[in-house]
Amino acid sequence: MSYWDKHVAFETLKGQVITKITQTDDTISIETSDGSSYLMYHSQDCCENVYVESIVGDLDDLLDSEILLAEEVSGENPEGWTEDKYAESYTWTFYKLATRKGYVDIRWLGESNGYYSESVDFAKIK
């Protein structure tokens, strides 16, 4: 029996009302007014690192107001990116959320030697 129920599309949050959001370097947990809980995370493996690189906007602007935008956008190996000279592959994933109160952009960065996943998982928690 797993901790999460199933992986769902990030867009599932559109139309929902977030009542609580908690962030660490490698997870973001979200609770909604209908009693649902979600987790953004990455199961780390050898030779990779996936983490929340930055958050632009105020997470409090997402609370207690309908989510009008919930979008995931990603891209790989930006030209000129040389942060870690040992990593051969990079994936940026942006999670965009907006309410009438404000807009938040959560940026995850995945780095690896090219043989491991750099993606972020979004799951509904049991």
**Could you report the per-residue pLDDT of 19-46, keeping only the tens digit for each?**
999 998 789 999 999 999 999 988 777 7
State both tokens at 8.
Answer: 């769902």
**Structure-token match 């996936």, residue found:** 50
Query: Is 80 exceeded by the pLDDT of residue 59?
Result: yes
Separation of CA 78 from chain center: 19
**Chain mean pLDDT for the chain:** 84
* SS percent in the chain: helix, strand, coil, step 5: 5, 50, 40
